[in-house]
Chain A
């Protein structure tokens, strides 16, 4: 009798612990990041936590807070940079402010703690006439002032803001006593003239072609770019020229293929565009930067997925192929339907463990406390990401991974 009771209890516990699994196939939609082949890569260079234990974590989400896919960063520039050789720095370099309050920052070549730029080193000319600095400069800060507040500008940097009343006048900035070159940075925070720059993707993979779009706006109205050039810079220091083509609408467009040997990591690839536009008789310069993250496809889903109940929660099991041993992470968001049948976010889960080369199975554990009883069938698993934590890189991303008629 006692044996029978134990057997019944064991069976009941087994039933409570895990129920039947349902096998599903991962879906793909346009814009998903799905590697066609895998690459092997070294582990990330920065000192990383070398975690070896499996870790699972989930938390509830507010059903009323809608989630949306991230949009690429759109840079809006009201600034430009220019390099001056020693002769040019001595002679002076000019620009015409498009708005009040332009900031001018000068960094001197070879400057240091013992050779800082002072206000008295700078000569300012307005429409060709030398002016007393005090009448042209409103605020001024030296490197020590800037560093004290956490803005780590280089030794010897001088920043000043032009006084009101100088819009449309030619401002020449010269360093008459200097025998060195300089870098000048002009920012017009209140300018109506803006250069925009964006890429068509937040995340890319080696071999993917990304498109870049740049344009000028003057008081929010589109203006034709006169010339735009650019560079793509990889985290490893390599740089690649961009050739922008200006279309009939005056927008500048370029494309760039991420090299097949691109590395992963969490340092983005930078896109830097240098543009000019002609506004009335003046040329307006602008530099803008944006970024794209490049992930390494060191792992991918096989496409199969199982969903099962375990200890009152919901577990997803996803087999993956891996090109190299490492710690891999799965993350996904579980949705349920509200009373009107609209899918609403319910909970998010992450799961990570070490896998050998070849592959294994990763899991997401949605614990009972994160399941929202107000949401029911049908369910969905969205924003499914497969990442390589050893190489700090996103390997695969599926926005609408699973539709689930009923949870087990």
Chain B
């Protein structure tokens, strides 16, 4: 019950603002690791975005971010790019009430902006417009898979031929690196100051890959096969890419997949950015 109280208070504040100042609500979709040029088609899918934005009073008030999230979160091509696109959106549409929906590492880039408001003079205005951030499967405490891919500088230097392409973003999401950032550079984790705006996490808690169940196919069955193996790297509660405790490490938990999805289906890491099991409707109703 308590976890809803914060959203209720923020919601009531918004309601008051709506009547007193005619709030203009908008929604921004912030992708995860990767360099995106068409995240609408390649990352979220139009079905997902179009469904969610039906919750807006003016359905044109949405933006899908395309940035270089292979970079470190603080890089001007990551957080700087995100700040630029959010600022343009806010200014162009006159947004006064912004809901930000992030997926995976997009939550870290957003948290960089929220945690470091003096780093860029555009940040304070963005923060002031944000109602809250809905962080879908955020990699707030990193993932052991990033450790495995990167394998540390030692292997990276001597065995570069053997190892995968470990971008800055993947290196950054190693668990021991994220621990450093959460301790010094980011807010919102246990014992640290809260973020200036709500950061509500949605946790995927398992992966279903049985070929005979329809829920394995939402978002593409081919992804479920890989997630089943990557899940073995993780704890018993994971979405195939992130442990549940990493997804819940920052901000406050909004819900765990089975609490709100249709038929209590799990949301794998791939499915938590797609129109699966009523997630789009849950997000739509939150606008």
Contact = CB atoms under 8 A, between A and B. Distances in A.
Contacts of A140: 229
Interface string B16-57: 000000000000000011100000000000000000000000
Nearest to B79: A49
A361 to B, nearest CB: 15
Contacts of B74: 46, 48, 266, 392
B199 to A, nearest CB: 13
B75 interface: yes
Nearest to A233: B153
A227 B189 CA distance: 35
Interface in A256-276: 266-268, 270, 272
A345 interface: yes
B232 A101 contact: yes
Given A107-B163, A152-B170, A239 B154 contact: yes
Contacts of B222: 145, 148
A6 interface: no
Nearest to B153: A233
A350 B193 CA distance: 12
Given A289-B152, A394-B184, A139 B232 contact: yes
Given A187-B233, A352-B118, A291 B80 contact: no
Interface in A134-173: 139-141, 145-154, 157, 159, 161
A237 B229 contact: no
A329 interface: yes
Nearest to B105: A150
Contacts of A73: 175-176, 179-180, 183
A47 interface: yes
A116 interface: no
Interface stretch (B59-67, B85-93, B142-150, B276-284): B142-150
Nearest to B268: A149
A62 interface: yes
A161 B32 CA distance: 28
A145 B220 CA distance: 12
A141 B164 contact: no
Contacts, number: 204
Contact of A351 (B118, B159, B193, B269): B118
A203 B148 CA distance: 24
A75 B152 CA distance: 13
A167 to B, nearest CB: 16
A145 B226 contact: yes
B223 A148 contact: yes
Interface stretch (A7-15, A17-25, A53-61, A119-127): A53-61
Contact of B180 (A65, A159, A293): A293
Contact of B269 (A149, A154, A267, A333): A149
Contacts of A62: 194
A67 interface: yes
Contacts of B181: 266
B267 to A, nearest CB: 13
Interface size class of A (residues with CB under 8 A): 35 or more
Interface string B166-189: 110011001111011111110000
Contact of B147 (A56, A59, A68, A289): A289
B119 A67 contact: no
Nearest to B228: A139
B77 interface: yes
A43 to B, nearest CB: 13
A333 B177 contact: no
A49 B122 CA distance: 10
A107 B72 contact: no
B212 interface: no
A48 B177 CA distance: 20
Nearest to B230: A151
A237 B157 contact: yes
B151 interface: yes
Given A47-B77, A49-B76, A333-B193, A81 B151 contact: yes
B18 to A, nearest CB: 20
A109 interface: yes
A152 B72 contact: no
Nearest to B104: A150
Given A83-B159, A103-B232, A157-B164, 11 more contacts: A79-B148, A103-B229, A139-B229, A140-B229, A145-B225, A150-B104, A154-B162, A187-B148, A290-B176, A329-B118, A333-B193
16 contacts: A53-B121, A67-B192, A141-B229, A145-B225, A145-B229, A148-B223, A151-B226, A154-B165, A189-B235, A202-B184, A266-B72, A272-B152, A291-B177, A292-B180, A293-B184, A348-B193
Interface of B: 32-34, 71-72, 74-77, 79-80, 83, 104, 116-121, 123-124, 127, 145, 147-149, 151-155, 157, 159, 161-167, 170-171, 174-177, 179-185, 191-194, 196, 222-223, 225-230, 232-235, 240-241, 269-270
